[in-house]
Protein backbone atom coordinates (compact mmCIF):
# COMPACT_ATOMS: atom_id res chain seq x y z
CA UNK A 1 0.00 0.00 0.00
CA UNK A 2 2.75 2.41 1.04
CA UNK A 3 4.93 1.44 -1.95
CA UNK A 4 1.97 1.87 -4.30
CA UNK A 5 1.16 5.32 -2.92
CA UNK A 6 4.79 6.38 -3.11
CA UNK A 7 4.98 5.24 -6.74
CA UNK A 8 1.89 7.31 -7.54
CA UNK A 9 3.44 10.30 -5.80
CA UNK A 10 6.66 9.92 -7.79
CA UNK A 11 4.71 9.71 -11.04
CA UNK A 12 2.61 12.77 -10.13
CA UNK A 13 5.62 14.81 -9.01
CA UNK A 14 7.93 13.72 -11.85
CA UNK A 15 8.37 17.23 -13.38
CA UNK A 16 9.35 18.67 -9.99
CA UNK A 17 11.64 15.73 -9.21
CA UNK A 18 13.33 16.01 -12.60
CA UNK A 19 13.94 19.70 -11.92
CA UNK A 20 15.43 18.91 -8.50
CA UNK A 21 17.59 16.08 -9.85
CA UNK A 22 19.05 18.35 -12.51
CA UNK A 23 18.92 22.03 -11.58
CA UNK A 24 19.02 21.89 -7.78
CA UNK A 25 21.80 19.30 -7.82
CA UNK A 26 23.98 21.53 -9.99
CA UNK A 27 23.12 24.61 -7.93
CA UNK A 28 24.15 22.79 -4.76
CA UNK A 29 27.53 21.90 -6.27
CA UNK A 30 28.07 25.51 -7.40
CA UNK A 31 27.28 26.82 -3.92
CA UNK A 32 30.03 24.62 -2.47
CA UNK A 33 32.28 27.53 -3.42
CA UNK A 34 31.18 29.29 -0.23
CA UNK A 35 33.15 26.70 1.74
CA UNK A 36 36.44 27.82 0.17
CA UNK A 37 38.51 30.57 1.76
CA UNK A 38 42.01 30.92 0.37
CA UNK A 39 43.60 32.42 3.49
CA UNK A 40 43.08 29.15 5.37
CA UNK A 41 45.37 27.34 2.95
CA UNK A 42 48.37 29.28 4.26
CA UNK A 43 48.24 27.00 7.31
CA UNK A 44 48.80 23.95 5.09
CA UNK A 45 51.95 25.20 3.41
CA UNK A 46 53.44 24.10 0.10
CA UNK A 47 54.46 20.67 1.40
CA UNK A 48 51.04 20.07 2.89
CA UNK A 49 49.21 20.99 -0.30
CA UNK A 50 51.65 18.83 -2.30
CA UNK A 51 50.77 15.89 -0.05
CA UNK A 52 47.04 16.47 -0.55
CA UNK A 53 47.49 16.78 -4.32
CA UNK A 54 49.51 13.56 -4.46
CA UNK A 55 46.91 11.71 -2.39
CA UNK A 56 44.04 12.92 -4.61
CA UNK A 57 45.85 11.93 -7.81
CA UNK A 58 46.90 8.50 -6.52
CA UNK A 59 43.49 7.76 -5.04
CA UNK A 60 41.67 8.67 -8.24
CA UNK A 61 43.88 6.67 -10.58
CA UNK A 62 44.38 3.67 -8.27
CA UNK A 63 40.64 3.33 -7.63
CA UNK A 64 39.69 3.82 -11.25
CA UNK A 65 42.36 1.56 -12.76
CA UNK A 66 41.84 -1.29 -10.27
CA UNK A 67 38.06 -1.35 -10.81
CA UNK A 68 38.39 -3.49 -13.92
CA UNK A 69 39.71 -6.40 -11.83
CA UNK A 70 36.35 -6.42 -10.02
CA UNK A 71 34.40 -6.33 -13.28
CA UNK A 72 33.04 -2.83 -12.61
CA UNK A 73 31.90 -0.66 -15.50
CA UNK A 74 34.12 2.34 -16.37
CA UNK A 75 31.21 4.71 -15.68
CA UNK A 76 30.63 3.46 -12.14
CA UNK A 77 34.38 3.27 -11.51
CA UNK A 78 34.73 6.94 -12.50
CA UNK A 79 32.03 7.98 -10.02
CA UNK A 80 33.49 5.95 -7.15
CA UNK A 81 37.01 7.21 -7.87
CA UNK A 82 35.82 10.81 -7.86
CA UNK A 83 33.94 10.33 -4.61
CA UNK A 84 36.91 8.71 -2.88
CA UNK A 85 39.48 11.21 -4.10
CA UNK A 86 37.67 14.56 -3.69
CA UNK A 87 34.58 15.05 -1.54
CA UNK A 88 32.33 12.01 -1.37
CA UNK A 89 28.72 12.33 -2.49
CA UNK A 90 29.22 15.92 -3.70
CA UNK A 91 31.93 14.83 -6.12
CA UNK A 92 29.87 11.85 -7.27
CA UNK A 93 26.88 14.04 -8.07
CA UNK A 94 29.07 16.65 -9.76
CA UNK A 95 30.74 14.07 -12.00
CA UNK A 96 27.41 12.35 -12.62
CA UNK A 97 25.81 15.64 -13.64
CA UNK A 98 28.75 16.51 -15.87
CA UNK A 99 28.82 13.16 -17.66
CA UNK A 100 25.03 12.55 -17.53
CA UNK A 101 25.59 9.25 -15.74
CA UNK A 102 22.82 6.73 -15.10
CA UNK A 103 20.88 7.45 -11.92
CA UNK A 104 21.43 3.90 -10.63
CA UNK A 105 25.21 4.28 -11.01
CA UNK A 106 25.13 7.59 -9.16
CA UNK A 107 22.99 6.15 -6.38
CA UNK A 108 25.24 3.12 -5.97
CA UNK A 109 28.40 5.24 -5.93
CA UNK A 110 26.90 7.64 -3.38
CA UNK A 111 25.95 4.68 -1.21
CA UNK A 112 29.45 3.20 -1.33
CA UNK A 113 31.35 6.41 -0.56
CA UNK A 114 28.87 7.30 2.20
CA UNK A 115 29.25 3.86 3.79
CA UNK A 116 33.04 3.97 3.67
CA UNK A 117 33.14 7.54 4.96
CA UNK A 118 30.91 6.54 7.87
CA UNK A 119 33.15 3.57 8.68
CA UNK A 120 36.05 6.03 8.93
CA UNK A 121 34.37 7.69 11.93
CA UNK A 122 34.74 4.45 13.87
CA UNK A 123 38.01 3.14 12.39
CA UNK A 124 40.37 6.11 12.12
CA UNK A 125 40.28 7.54 15.71
CA UNK A 126 41.43 4.30 17.42
CA UNK A 127 44.12 3.81 14.76
CA UNK A 128 45.34 7.39 15.27
CA UNK A 129 45.54 6.85 19.03
CA UNK A 130 47.22 3.45 18.66
CA UNK A 131 49.89 4.98 16.39
CA UNK A 132 50.28 7.99 18.74
CA UNK A 133 49.69 10.43 15.89
CA UNK A 134 49.89 14.13 16.70
CA UNK A 135 46.78 16.24 16.24
CA UNK A 136 48.38 17.83 13.18
CA UNK A 137 49.14 14.49 11.50
CA UNK A 138 45.83 12.93 12.51
CA UNK A 139 43.89 15.96 11.26
CA UNK A 140 45.74 16.03 7.95
CA UNK A 141 45.11 12.29 7.50
CA UNK A 142 41.40 12.62 8.27
CA UNK A 143 41.05 15.57 5.90
CA UNK A 144 42.88 13.69 3.17
CA UNK A 145 41.21 10.28 3.54
CA UNK A 146 37.63 10.80 4.76
CA UNK A 147 35.07 11.65 2.10
CA UNK A 148 32.27 14.07 3.07
CA UNK A 149 32.89 17.19 5.16
CA UNK A 150 30.37 16.06 7.80
CA UNK A 151 32.21 12.77 8.20
CA UNK A 152 35.51 14.65 8.43
CA UNK A 153 34.17 16.82 11.26
CA UNK A 154 32.73 13.80 13.10
CA UNK A 155 35.94 11.76 12.80
CA UNK A 156 38.19 14.63 13.88
CA UNK A 157 35.91 15.49 16.79
CA UNK A 158 36.28 11.96 18.15
CA UNK A 159 40.08 12.33 18.14
CA UNK A 160 39.76 15.71 19.86
CA UNK A 161 42.23 18.53 20.50
CA UNK A 162 43.20 20.67 17.53
CA UNK A 163 42.64 17.78 15.12
CA UNK A 164 39.46 19.33 13.74
CA UNK A 165 41.10 22.55 12.49
CA UNK A 166 43.79 20.64 10.58
CA UNK A 167 41.23 18.17 9.21
CA UNK A 168 38.91 20.87 7.85
CA UNK A 169 41.75 22.76 6.15
CA UNK A 170 43.04 19.56 4.50
CA UNK A 171 39.52 18.68 3.41
CA UNK A 172 38.93 22.09 1.82
CA UNK A 173 42.18 21.68 -0.12
CA UNK A 174 40.64 18.55 -1.66
CA UNK A 175 37.38 20.33 -2.47
CA UNK A 176 39.33 22.98 -4.43
CA UNK A 177 40.56 20.20 -6.71
CA UNK A 178 37.00 19.30 -7.79
CA UNK A 179 36.98 21.78 -10.67
CA UNK A 180 40.36 20.73 -12.13
CA UNK A 181 39.31 17.08 -11.91
CA UNK A 182 36.12 17.76 -13.86
CA UNK A 183 38.07 19.65 -16.50
CA UNK A 184 40.48 16.71 -16.93
CA UNK A 185 37.61 14.21 -17.12
CA UNK A 186 35.81 16.24 -19.78
CA UNK A 187 38.99 16.86 -21.78
CA UNK A 188 39.89 13.18 -21.81
CA UNK A 189 36.43 11.97 -22.78
CA UNK A 190 35.59 14.68 -25.33
CA UNK A 191 35.62 13.73 -28.98
CA UNK A 192 38.43 15.72 -30.59
CA UNK A 193 36.59 16.38 -33.89
CA UNK A 194 33.43 17.46 -32.11
CA UNK A 195 35.49 19.68 -29.84
CA UNK A 196 37.21 21.41 -32.76
CA UNK A 197 33.95 22.02 -34.61
CA UNK A 198 31.86 23.05 -31.58
CA UNK A 199 34.36 24.70 -29.27
CA UNK A 200 33.01 26.50 -26.24
CA UNK A 201 34.10 26.93 -22.64
CA UNK A 202 31.38 24.52 -21.52
CA UNK A 203 32.92 21.77 -23.68
CA UNK A 204 35.52 21.34 -20.96
CA UNK A 205 33.91 23.09 -18.01
CA UNK A 206 30.20 22.53 -17.21
CA UNK A 207 28.25 25.70 -16.31
CA UNK A 208 27.73 24.69 -12.68
CA UNK A 209 31.50 24.26 -12.22
CA UNK A 210 32.04 27.71 -13.76
CA UNK A 211 29.56 28.85 -11.12
CA UNK A 212 31.55 27.02 -8.43
CA UNK A 213 34.73 28.84 -9.46
CA UNK A 214 32.96 32.20 -9.69
CA UNK A 215 31.37 31.79 -6.25
CA UNK A 216 34.71 30.75 -4.77
CA UNK A 217 36.37 33.92 -6.07
CA UNK A 218 33.38 36.04 -5.01
CA UNK A 219 33.39 34.52 -1.54
CA UNK A 220 37.05 35.44 -1.06
CA UNK A 221 36.53 38.98 -2.31
CA UNK A 222 33.38 39.84 -0.34
CA UNK A 223 34.52 38.52 3.06
CA UNK A 224 31.00 37.57 4.13
CA UNK A 225 30.10 37.21 7.79
CA UNK A 226 30.18 33.75 9.38
CA UNK A 227 26.39 33.80 9.67
CA UNK A 228 25.85 34.60 6.00
CA UNK A 229 28.40 31.99 4.93
CA UNK A 230 26.81 29.29 7.08
CA UNK A 231 23.39 30.13 5.65
CA UNK A 232 24.66 29.79 2.07
CA UNK A 233 26.46 26.54 2.92
CA UNK A 234 23.23 25.18 4.42
CA UNK A 235 21.38 26.18 1.23
CA UNK A 236 23.99 24.25 -0.74
CA UNK A 237 23.48 21.17 1.46
CA UNK A 238 19.70 21.48 1.09
CA UNK A 239 19.93 21.66 -2.71
CA UNK A 240 22.26 18.65 -2.80
CA UNK A 241 20.01 16.65 -0.47
CA UNK A 242 16.88 17.49 -2.49
CA UNK A 243 18.66 16.66 -5.72
CA UNK A 244 19.91 13.30 -4.40
CA UNK A 245 16.44 12.44 -3.08
CA UNK A 246 14.87 13.30 -6.42
CA UNK A 247 17.46 11.21 -8.21
CA UNK A 248 16.89 8.30 -5.83
CA UNK A 249 13.16 8.25 -6.62
CA UNK A 250 14.00 7.33 -10.18
CA UNK A 251 16.12 4.33 -9.17
CA UNK A 252 14.58 0.87 -9.16
CA UNK A 253 15.77 -1.82 -6.73
CA UNK A 254 16.12 -4.23 -9.65
CA UNK A 255 18.59 -1.81 -11.25
CA UNK A 256 20.70 -1.69 -8.09
CA UNK A 257 20.66 -5.48 -7.77
CA UNK A 258 21.76 -5.82 -11.39
CA UNK A 259 24.99 -3.98 -10.55
CA UNK A 260 25.86 -6.72 -8.04
CA UNK A 261 27.90 -6.90 -4.84
CA UNK A 262 31.31 -6.56 -6.50
CA UNK A 263 31.26 -2.73 -6.38
CA UNK A 264 30.65 -2.92 -2.62
CA UNK A 265 33.59 -5.27 -2.09
CA UNK A 266 35.66 -3.08 -4.36
CA UNK A 267 34.70 0.05 -2.42
CA UNK A 268 35.60 -1.46 0.95
CA UNK A 269 38.95 -2.71 -0.38
CA UNK A 270 39.75 0.64 -1.97
CA UNK A 271 38.77 2.46 1.25
CA UNK A 272 41.25 0.42 3.31
CA UNK A 273 44.10 0.65 0.80
CA UNK A 274 43.65 4.37 0.06
CA UNK A 275 43.42 5.16 3.76
CA UNK A 276 46.70 3.35 4.40
CA UNK A 277 48.73 5.06 1.68
CA UNK A 278 47.17 8.45 2.55
CA UNK A 279 48.58 8.13 6.06
CA UNK A 280 51.95 7.01 4.67
CA UNK A 281 52.17 10.08 2.41
CA UNK A 282 51.08 12.46 5.18
CA UNK A 283 53.72 11.10 7.58
CA UNK A 284 56.40 11.11 4.88
CA UNK A 285 55.81 14.64 3.58
72: left (phi over 0), alpha (psi -120 to 50) or beta: beta
Distance between CA atoms of residues 31 and 234, nearest Å: 9
pLDDT band at 16 (very low <50, low <70, confident <90, very high): low
Report which of 41, 37, 273 is spatially closest to residue 170, judged by C-alpha positions: 41
Q: What is the per-residue pLDDT across 202-253, written as a single tens digit (0 to 9) for each? A: 545 567 767 877 888 888 888 788 888 889 888 887 887 777 676 666 555 5
% residues pLDDT > 90 (the chain): 20
* pLDDT 10s digits, 17-64: 566 556 776 787 778 778 777 776 677 778 888 999 999 999 999 999
Question: 10 Å Cβ neighbour count for 215?
Answer: 19
The predicted structure's pLDDT at residue 271: 92
Say how far apart CA 56 and CA 35 lie, in whole Å. Answer: 19
Of residues 8 and 56, more confidence is placed in: 56
Q: Taking the model in full, what pTM does it have?
A: 0.74
Per-range mean pLDDT, top range of 73-82, 100-109, 152-161, 221-230: 73-82
Q: How confident is the model at residue 97 (pLDDT cuts 50, 70, 90)?
A: confident
Q: What is the mean pLDDT of the chain?
A: 79
For residue 189, is pLDDT > 70? no
pLDDT at 233: 82
Amino acid sequence: MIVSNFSKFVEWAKPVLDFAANRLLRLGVALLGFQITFHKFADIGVKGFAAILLIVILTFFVVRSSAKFFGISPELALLIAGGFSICGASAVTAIGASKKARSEDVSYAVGIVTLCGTLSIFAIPPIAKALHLTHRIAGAWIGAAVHDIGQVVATASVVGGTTLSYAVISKLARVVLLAPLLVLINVKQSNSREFKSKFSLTTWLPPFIIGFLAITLLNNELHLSAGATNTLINISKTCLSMGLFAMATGVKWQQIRSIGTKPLLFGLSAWAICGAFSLAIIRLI
